[in-house]
Chains A and B, each alone.
Chain A
Amino acid sequence: MIHENVLQESAVSDQKTKKVGSAVVLGGGVGGMQAALDLAEAGIKVYLVDKESAIGGVMSQLDKTFPTNDCSMCIVSPRLVDVGRHLNIETICNADLQKVEGRAGDFKVTFKQKTRYIDLEKCTGCGLCSEKCPITKKSEFDMGMAQRKAIFRRYPQAVPSGFTIDKEGLSPCRFGCPLGVNAHGYVALIADGRFEEALEVEKRRNPFPSICGRICPTPCEAECRRGDLDQPVAIRQLKRFLGDWERKNGRKPLEPTEDKKSEKVAVIGAGPAGLTLARELKLKGYNVTIFEANPKAGGVLISGIPPYRLPRDVIEWEIQEIFDLGVELKANAHVGKDISFDQIKNDYDAVFVATGTPRERSMKLEGEDTIKGLYDCIQFLREVNLENCKSIGKKVIVVGGGNAAIDAARTAQRLDTENVTIVYCRSRREMPAKPTEVRATIEEGIEIKFLTNPVRLIADENNNLTGVECVRMGLGEPDESGRRRPVPIEGSEFIIEADVLIPAISQEPDLMFFGDKLQPKTTRVKTLVVDPVTLETTVPGVFAGGDVVSSPATVIEAINAGLRAAESIDRYLKKEDMHAGREEAKWIRAERDIDGEPIIPRHKIPEISVEERAGNFNEVELGWDEETAIAEAKRCLDCAACCECLMCLAACEAMAIDHNMEREDIITLEAGAIIVAPGYELFNADNTKELGYDRFPNVITSLELERLLSASGPTMGEIQRPSDGEHPKSIAFIQCVGSRTVENNYCSSVCCMYATKEAVIAKEHQPDLECSIFYIDLRAYGKGFDEYYERAKEHGVRYVRCRPSAILQDQQTKDVIIRYVDDQGKQQEGRFSMAVLSCGLSPLDGVHEFAQRLGIELNDLGFCKTSRIAPVDTTREGIYTCGPFNEPKDIPETVMQASAAAARAMSLLDEVKWTRTAKKEYPPERDVTGEDPHIGVFVCHCGKNIGGVIDCKAVAEYAKGLNGVVYATDKLYTCSQDSIASITETVKEQNLNRVIVAACTPRTHEPLFRDSIREAGLNPYLFEFANIRDQNTWVHQSEPQKAFEKAKDLVRMSVGKARLLEPLYDGDLKINKNALVIGGGMSGMTAALELASQRFPVYLIEREKELGGNMRRLHYLIDGDDPQKKLKETVEKVQSHDKIKVYLDCQIESLSGSLGNFETTLKPHNGSEGETIKHGVVVVTTGAQELKPDEYFYGRDERVLTQLELEEKLASGDFSATSVVMIQCVGSRNEERPYCSRVCCTNAIKNALQIKEKSPDTNVYILYRDVRTYGLRESWYRHARDKGVIFLRYDQDKKPEVTKGGDGFEIVVHDPILHIDLKLTADSLVLSAAIIANDDAKDIAQLLKVPVNNDRFFLEAHMKLRPVDFATDGVFLAGLAHSPKAVDESIIQALGAAGRASTYLSKDSVTLPAAISEVIDENCDGCAYCIDPCPYNAITLIEFIHKGDIKKTVESDPSACKGCGVCQATCPKQGIKVNHFRLDQLGAMVEALLLEE
């Protein structure tokens, strides 16, 4: 032990220094994607792991996003593409975290990955497989409101775009079948109306659907999950339907699978086992001969099973298929009599013995062999079935309880008998015969004497049977078969009259034919001993199967034996190992949840009436028509999802599907850091029973409404009531479902706004729709949110401040009824067409186990534990978090935090950046200057997407005739790996110098094709894309001819342009590694430190004489962290860091340049000469300030304080009061400043609690409009109320009135609930003053050429997805300068800005695309028309002296230009062009369009 410890320790100390330049990001939502992209761009290899089959998270499911009403999918899908295409991001889906070993810098992360059963390398995402799949399941993506197939893609834009198979194991019905027939497969295909394919699935293993469809004892149905719900699916009857269908519609001849062979195989016995084997081996090319003692083939099928169950013509028709193959039958050939077994063994290469059990076992009664009137059951049935025996006697007793006994009794009943009695020693429950058969037997008038056993035969003097003495039986203890053992009851003997007795107890084989020489070993019960796997007897080359081995069993088992022996004989004759690879596969049984499935009764199997059955052998059960069969098949619950019908396999032209892949894989990844972004679980609305979700059809969740609103959703954006599909007249939104409750003591942060947005968008869809939002506090605390809320009210969205206790339903109309109290205090009963539950953001299901696997801690509510001052660090070093896993939050906060988490990981792994990343290497480029255009055109079918609408071959043919085209072809999937390789080859072979692909869309695929020609040594800009899918076959699906013409036009235009394509070269922009941070508050210092820890030199500019900003005035944080301690530590770190240069008391004079190369001149306040510094990026953290109010005696009475002033007084200990009134929203949410200052509610509560702690008797009143304690801050609101802080609401139009009186103030506030004015007195008045932008914000914005909003807060590049970037590359934003926010949020954004900046600084240079603007000096006369329209401020006017004259021209900054082309369109003199989209190139396209060649 000691030794081991020492070893481990030394290993640990080695590891301490080791770091790995890769990271695992858990969760592929917006947070995970942002973190992955930031890390990969900064040189860290990323494994992006998601538990779903595609990344995208919840955002991909949303319809629109607030406050900009952008389409959620439209803004998220480019990001999906970026992630999917990134060379250094590996996406791993369907993966479940198992464990995390190691330490920060060097983790080993293990996942269990569920297989897709699809090779993503090969899958092109065409979707043909899905079309062929017969299984439909509820789509998770569409919240169960639409269907998907078992082979599916989560959503059309999914990344990865490949499909996945939903396979839960093996459906129970397949588990039950001894033959392993794929019942689920053919049932599913029947349900889909595809009978021929269903038959094919059935006949893969079972040659006899018509026969088994009538007599199989259906072990499958015993397993059927629907049996636990109502009754099992009638699988046997469906099988019979297929057989009947085949007989009616004719069958396709079987095709041999292998070539003809010379070997001969003999089969003894033409029963089901022998026939099956004969078929299998004949298909494999062997010569097969069957020896049968009876005149006809069929064995027990014709001799033992009565025709009323199995008509003879059915058997003959089905068996004939086998003889049609050329199997030879020697009928009436008794082996052992007509031909010896030795002879057969000599003449044939292998023998299969399948002679069944033709002898009845003895009853062991005296006189059994001598008394006349006793029939052996088998002999009896054979005589009736084969020899047309019509009469046996009058009073018949059948002994036994199996199917043979039932068959004998029912057969006897159909002869000229008087009565037939079955005598059975146990009770009905133990009877092995099928219950339906037993029922039919009784129906037909046969008496069954249960618990009765024959003990003595009674005969007359002629030794003819006259009766049977029986004894009554009782049931004792269970025997080895599990059935209770029958015990005779003494003295209960009685006599039944009878002239015929048919024992049907059990049968045994007759093995006399073997002779002495080759006698194989037998068992105690006279069956043959065989190898359990190969079915070979103890005599080599002699195999056996069916009843002769198993004792009497079912036909289905006999068929299985035939298949098994066929496989063995094939191997035997090929001299292969007969055992290899034949172990029983370990299948997993699919356990389907049947809760809530509707009851659908089983369809009845038609039968002829009892009267019609008498005296004949007509078939009793009848078949189904197609309609009934389909309806019954639709009862199948699709337990395993995928039914393995393999129709997809046939449909997949890319050969990407493999149903035999391992079910799951264990993957272990090396990662230096882990970012945890798994998101949240939408609160399960079924947990609030009173709201009726799941009971009332018209109560839906918010996410369901998102899908209903989405244009790509289940109703294509039409709002339909689930109950009747009608458009709703009114919708009620219920807020705080699963939030702000005793159990969930937090606010979900986003619901107020998403409900507002949903209401607004729903009204856009349907302007007459009435939307009412029932809420507690309207928490529109984010940037631009309050304005959005006000606009919603203007649009007519109604807000009702009431939390309804329950939702009721009008049983007739299915409207929902909500009782609530209106603002007049009156109880109202509202009726709405629908109710939408604004479900909260709950911690993930199984979050505790997940956290345990990660080795991180959670807080009491189940969210990831972090602190307000280190808000992305989990409790385990090297593991960072972002998004709602940490606290319920919105998209921008998640994205900020993702970049922040990425920044922390970058700092940790700084020295190993670029050690694990890949870089693409290309062959040297070929010079094509002066060559005539040699154009190659590749037309893509995109599976059926294009090829299903237009003739792609013809388009390629057409292209061949175009000027300059030397090669044209069509490809099934141009983007598949082999096609890409073939493009590269063709370029070389055909000496192409231009390439056109006519296919899907350049948006996703252009880089791939450019890459393929670059591989061939061609400049990538010699590629042109013709979009013939998205812009052609998709939109003109219904007009294929016109689409075909348009495809030709598009190709011709591309050829026209391609002739003029020229090589272009991407620019290479060197990046200066210095960073400038403007503003030395907490945000600025945080950003500076994070960048400095990645060894980037930082210039930190602070206007004041000391660092710290607003943080200097904070003394408490809501969760208890000490801000002053944090500030002190941070300032010390900044001041002592060798990479940070601090400039205090200083501001910016000027700033020029662009990404990578900025130049800034400083302006010290002391008037000295300002330094000029060069840097690659800028981070703006200039902060904001607290408003100095001009109301409520502020500034005129020292007892009136702002919250910050109160905090300072509390900290210094010179605050005391007996009654404090706090007024919220002073200066916020009014006409002048329509925004919410976000932090004031929390600050007021924080300070109120401080007061209460110091002096519990002080009365604290908080006068508020909405308490906006979002996220986990909510618990402090509750805490404050518990501590006695009194919250009084006021309305904006009835603001509190304050007068001075007595020793303090008198405050009158109108209570909107009681409808009375309340009078309060206070000796201290605290104003929660607004946060306002700095006075010079606009000046700084102008210097930086970045925008500010109406409230002078800086405006980010995109409110949702780019919250720390500006539209100008290389400039970033954090802290209060962006909008009011709390300390933790500023820290997050600052870290995020550092992370974003580092994506540039980590590179030595960035690539500038070549397809951008270029000034043509000789044409430009500096008119400057182009400057203002440029959306990127990329163009500047230049004046210079040329030959004594002042000349003007413009200059375009390649690092700023995005190639949009506005300048080219504006210029009247062709003085500026956009490469790759030059006017002559565009002109050539237009010309080509107008002039057909």
Chain B
Amino acid sequence: MKYAYYPGCSLHSTASEYDISFRSVCRMLHVAIEEIPKWACCGSTPAHSTSHLMALALPGRVISQAEEAKFQKILVPCASCFQRLKTAQYEVRNYSGLHETLEQVLDRKLENKAEVIHPLELFIGEEMSNRIADAVRKRLEGLKVCCYYGCLLTRPPKVMNFDECEYPMSMDTIVSALGAETLDWNAKTSCCGASLSLTKSDHVCKLIRDIFQEAKAVGANAIAVACPLCHSNLDTRQQETEIIYKEKYGFPIFYFTQLMGLAFGESIKALGLKKHLVDPRPLLSEVGIA
């Protein structure tokens, strides 16, 4: 079976390393993916803070496009996109009349049956964990990773229906299968301040400082994420936060797919690891991974 792949705008731009590492990992795990033809915006922040209908119609369109191309499952790596698609699907299912309205607005058929899944869901389960175990070439020993899920992936639980809302474990399961040590910490689902990144960066610094302090307290040397917004905040604002709070964090921020790629023997370059502002290479060479 082939999965529809919805990269969203981030994975085509700021988070291109999430995109390339995800594609690479899929290839190595024999997961066939294909971008949804002519996909467009998911309706994240800009739309859903202005028009409720537009915020549903945009993701509705994506789902409809995938269905038109006969996909049954849509893979959505960006947490924000993921949430938009899930929300649209949920609301259409639960509020009468909405389905008809959307079809009318979009002027296209929406079955709303395609399953929207996050890569974290894809990579857990017995069959996948066997494939991952077989694919591991280089165990990521020496990496002490805090898995950071952010606030979007699991909330609200009845809509997202993803992992354990307050204490998700899927990323931990995957990352520890790669040989890295994953740590129990307090900030798994804290907010990084994503939508305030440009408008109130001091808030963001405060929020991510809390996250870094928690990671530091449990002895982490890296943080893994599954969301381009989380990555952007934790990576790009890290140095600034260090200056403001006169503290040193030095946490490389990995997409969990990059860690998978590393363990599967993919090169630094092919995983886009040079793109990060907090250079992960010193850590990787220190622990003997690359």
A690 touches B186 (CB 8 A): no
In the complex, what's the smallest C-beta–C-beta distance from A634 to chain B, in angstroms? 24
Q: A806 — which chain B residues lie within 8 A by C-beta?
A: 166
B167 touches A812 (CB 8 A): no
User: Does B198 interact with chain A (Cβ within 8 Å)?
Assistant: no
Q: A690 — which chain B residues lie within 8 A by C-beta?
A: 166-167
B166 touches A695 (CB 8 A): no
Segment 770-828 of A: residues with Cβ below 8 Å from B: 806, 808-812, 817
A811 touches B166 (CB 8 A): no
How far apart are the CA atoms of A812 and B184 in the complex, in Å?
Answer: 13
Render A1004-1018 as a binary contact track against B, CB cut-off 8 A, 1 for contact. Answer: 000000000000000
On chain B, the number of residues with a Cβ less than 8 Å from chain A's Cβ atoms is 9
User: Does B100 interact with chain A (Cβ within 8 Å)?
Assistant: no
Render B196-222 as a binary contact track against A, CB cut-off 8 A, 1 for contact. Answer: 000000000000000000100110000
B186 touches A809 (CB 8 A): yes
A689 touches B218 (CB 8 A): no
How far apart are the CA atoms of A809 and B167 in the complex, in Å?
Answer: 14
Please, which residue of chain B has its CB at the minimum distance from the CB of A810? B217
B167 touches A689 (CB 8 A): yes
Render B147-184 as a binary contact track against A, CB cut-off 8 A, 1 for contact. Answer: 00000000000000000101100000000000000001
Q: A811 — which chain B residues lie within 8 A by C-beta?
A: 185-186, 214, 217-218
Render A1378-1411 as a binary contact track against B, CB cut-off 8 A, 1 for contact. Answer: 0000000000000000000000000000000000
B166 touches A812 (CB 8 A): no
Q: A688 — which chain B residues lie within 8 A by C-beta?
A: 166
> Most chain-A CB neighbours within 10 Å: which of B164, B166, B217?
B166
How far apart are the CA atoms of A812 and B166 in the complex, in Å?
Answer: 22
Please, which residue of chain A has its CB at the minimum distance from the CB of B158? A742
How far apart are the CA atoms of A811 and B215 in the complex, in Å?
Answer: 10
A808 touches B164 (CB 8 A): no
Render A689-727 as a binary contact track against B, CB cut-off 8 A, 1 for contact. Answer: 110000100000000000000000000000000000000
A812 touches B217 (CB 8 A): yes
In the complex, what's the smallest C-beta–C-beta distance from A417 to chain B, in angstroms? 37
Q: B185 — which chain A residues lie within 8 A by C-beta?
A: 811
Q: A695 — which chain B residues lie within 8 A by C-beta?
A: 167, 184
Q: B166 — which chain A residues lie within 8 A by C-beta?
A: 688-690, 806
Q: B164 — which chain A residues lie within 8 A by C-beta?
A: 689
Q: B186 — which chain A residues lie within 8 A by C-beta?
A: 808-809, 811, 817
How far apart are the CA atoms of A1228 and B186 in the complex, in Å?
Answer: 44
Q: Number of A-B pairs whose CB atoms are under 8 Å?
A: 19
Segment 1241-1292 of A: residues with Cβ below 8 Å from B: none
Q: B214 — which chain A residues lie within 8 A by C-beta?
A: 811
In the complex, what's the smallest C-beta–C-beta distance from B146 to chain A, in angstroms? 11
Q: B218 — which chain A residues lie within 8 A by C-beta?
A: 811
How far apart are the CA atoms of A688 and B166 in the complex, in Å?
Answer: 8
Q: A810 — which chain B residues lie within 8 A by C-beta?
A: 217
In the complex, what's the smallest C-beta–C-beta distance from A738 to chain B, in angstroms? 14
Please, which residue of chain B has its CB at the minimum distance from the CB of A807? B186
Please, which residue of chain A has its CB at the minimum distance from the CB of B185? A811
In the complex, what's the smallest C-beta–C-beta distance from A697 to chain B, in angstroms? 11
How far apart are the CA atoms of A810 and B186 in the complex, in Å?
Answer: 9
How far apart are the CA atoms of A809 and B186 in the complex, in Å?
Answer: 7
In the complex, what's the smallest C-beta–C-beta distance from A743 to chain B, in angstroms? 11
In the complex, what's the smallest C-beta–C-beta distance from A684 to chain B, in angstroms? 13
How far apart are the CA atoms of A808 and B218 in the complex, in Å?
Answer: 13
Q: B184 — which chain A residues lie within 8 A by C-beta?
A: 695
Q: B217 — which chain A residues lie within 8 A by C-beta?
A: 810-812
How far apart are the CA atoms of A690 and B187 in the complex, in Å?
Answer: 11
In the complex, what's the smallest C-beta–C-beta distance from A231 to chain B, in angstroms? 16
How far apart are the CA atoms of A808 and B166 in the complex, in Å?
Answer: 12
How far apart are the CA atoms of A809 and B185 in the complex, in Å?
Answer: 8
In the complex, what's the smallest C-beta–C-beta distance from A470 to chain B, in angstroms? 31
How far apart are the CA atoms of A960 and B218 in the complex, in Å?
Answer: 72
In the complex, what's the smallest C-beta–C-beta distance from A499 to chain B, in angstroms? 41
Please, which residue of chain B has its CB at the minimum distance from the CB of A805? B166
In the complex, what's the smallest C-beta–C-beta distance from A926 to chain B, in angstroms? 74
Please, which residue of chain B has its CB at the minimum distance from the CB of A688? B166
In the complex, what's the smallest C-beta–C-beta distance from B247 to chain A, in angstroms? 16
In the complex, what's the smallest C-beta–C-beta distance from A1465 to chain B, in angstroms? 64
Please, which residue of chain B has its CB at the minimum distance from the CB of A687? B164
How far apart are the CA atoms of A569 and B231 in the complex, in Å?
Answer: 77
Q: A809 — which chain B residues lie within 8 A by C-beta?
A: 186
Please, which residue of chain B has its CB at the minimum distance from the CB of A812? B217
Please, which residue of chain B has its CB at the minimum distance from the CB of A691? B166
In the complex, what's the smallest C-beta–C-beta distance from B145 to chain A, in angstroms? 15
In the complex, what's the smallest C-beta–C-beta distance from B111 to chain A, in angstroms? 30
How far apart are the CA atoms of A1104 and B214 in the complex, in Å?
Answer: 71
Render B218-229 as a binary contact track against A, CB cut-off 8 A, 1 for contact. Answer: 100000000000
In the complex, what's the smallest C-beta–C-beta distance from B85 to chain A, in angstroms? 25
Q: A817 — which chain B residues lie within 8 A by C-beta?
A: 186
How far apart are the CA atoms of A817 and B185 in the complex, in Å?
Answer: 13
How far apart are the CA atoms of A843 and B139 in the complex, in Å?
Answer: 44
How far apart are the CA atoms of A806 and B189 in the complex, in Å?
Answer: 11
How far apart are the CA atoms of A806 and B164 in the complex, in Å?
Answer: 14
Please, which residue of chain A has its CB at the minimum distance from the CB of B218? A811
In the complex, what's the smallest C-beta–C-beta distance from B52 to chain A, in angstroms? 24
Please, which residue of chain B has its CB at the minimum distance from the CB of A817? B186
Please, which residue of chain A has its CB at the minimum distance from the CB of B187? A808
How far apart are the CA atoms of A817 and B186 in the complex, in Å?
Answer: 10
Please, which residue of chain B has its CB at the minimum distance from the CB of A689? B167
In the complex, what's the smallest C-beta–C-beta distance from B170 to chain A, in angstroms? 13
How far apart are the CA atoms of A812 and B218 in the complex, in Å?
Answer: 8
How far apart are the CA atoms of A809 and B214 in the complex, in Å?
Answer: 10
In the complex, what's the smallest C-beta–C-beta distance from B229 to chain A, in angstroms? 22
Q: A812 — which chain B residues lie within 8 A by C-beta?
A: 217
Please, which residue of chain A has its CB at the minimum distance from the CB of B164? A689
In the complex, what's the smallest C-beta–C-beta distance from A531 to chain B, in angstroms? 44
In the complex, what's the smallest C-beta–C-beta distance from B157 to chain A, in angstroms? 10
How far apart are the CA atoms of A456 and B217 in the complex, in Å?
Answer: 68
How far apart are the CA atoms of A806 and B184 in the complex, in Å?
Answer: 15
Segment 810-864 of A: residues with Cβ below 8 Å from B: 810-812, 817
Segment 47-104 of B: residues with Cβ below 8 Å from A: none
In the complex, what's the smallest C-beta–C-beta distance from B89 to chain A, in angstroms? 21
Q: A689 — which chain B residues lie within 8 A by C-beta?
A: 164, 166-167
In the complex, what's the smallest C-beta–C-beta distance from B162 to chain A, in angstroms? 14
Please, which residue of chain B has its CB at the minimum distance from the CB of A696? B184
In the complex, what's the smallest C-beta–C-beta distance from A266 to chain B, in angstroms? 55
Please, which residue of chain A has its CB at the minimum distance from the CB of B184? A695
In the complex, what's the smallest C-beta–C-beta distance from B68 to chain A, in angstroms? 37
How far apart are the CA atoms of A688 and B165 in the complex, in Å?
Answer: 10
How far apart are the CA atoms of A810 and B164 in the complex, in Å?
Answer: 22
How far apart are the CA atoms of A689 and B167 in the complex, in Å?
Answer: 6
How far apart are the CA atoms of A808 and B186 in the complex, in Å?
Answer: 6
How far apart are the CA atoms of A688 and B164 in the complex, in Å?
Answer: 9
How far apart are the CA atoms of A817 and B218 in the complex, in Å?
Answer: 15
Please, which residue of chain B has its CB at the minimum distance from the CB of A695? B184
Please, which residue of chain B has its CB at the minimum distance from the CB of A809? B186
Segment 669-698 of A: residues with Cβ below 8 Å from B: 688-690, 695
In the complex, what's the smallest C-beta–C-beta distance from B30 to chain A, in angstroms? 21
Segment 541-565 of A: residues with Cβ below 8 Å from B: none
In the complex, what's the smallest C-beta–C-beta distance from A806 to chain B, in angstroms? 7
How far apart are the CA atoms of A150 and B198 in the complex, in Å?
Answer: 63
In the complex, what's the smallest C-beta–C-beta distance from A831 to chain B, in angstroms? 13
How far apart are the CA atoms of A811 and B186 in the complex, in Å?
Answer: 9
In the complex, what's the smallest C-beta–C-beta distance from B189 to chain A, in angstroms? 9
Known: A809-B186, A810-B217, A811-B217. 6 other contacts (CB 8 A): A689-B164, A689-B167, A690-B166, A695-B167, A695-B184, A811-B218
A to B CB contacts below 8 Å, 19 in the list: A688-B166, A689-B164, A689-B166, A689-B167, A690-B166, A690-B167, A695-B167, A695-B184, A806-B166, A808-B186, A809-B186, A810-B217, A811-B185, A811-B186, A811-B214, A811-B217, A811-B218, A812-B217, A817-B186
Interface residues of A (CB under 8 A from B): 688-690, 695, 806, 808-812, 817
Closest 9 CB pairs of A and B: A689-B167, A690-B166, A811-B217, A808-B186, A689-B166, A811-B218, A689-B164, A695-B184, A690-B167
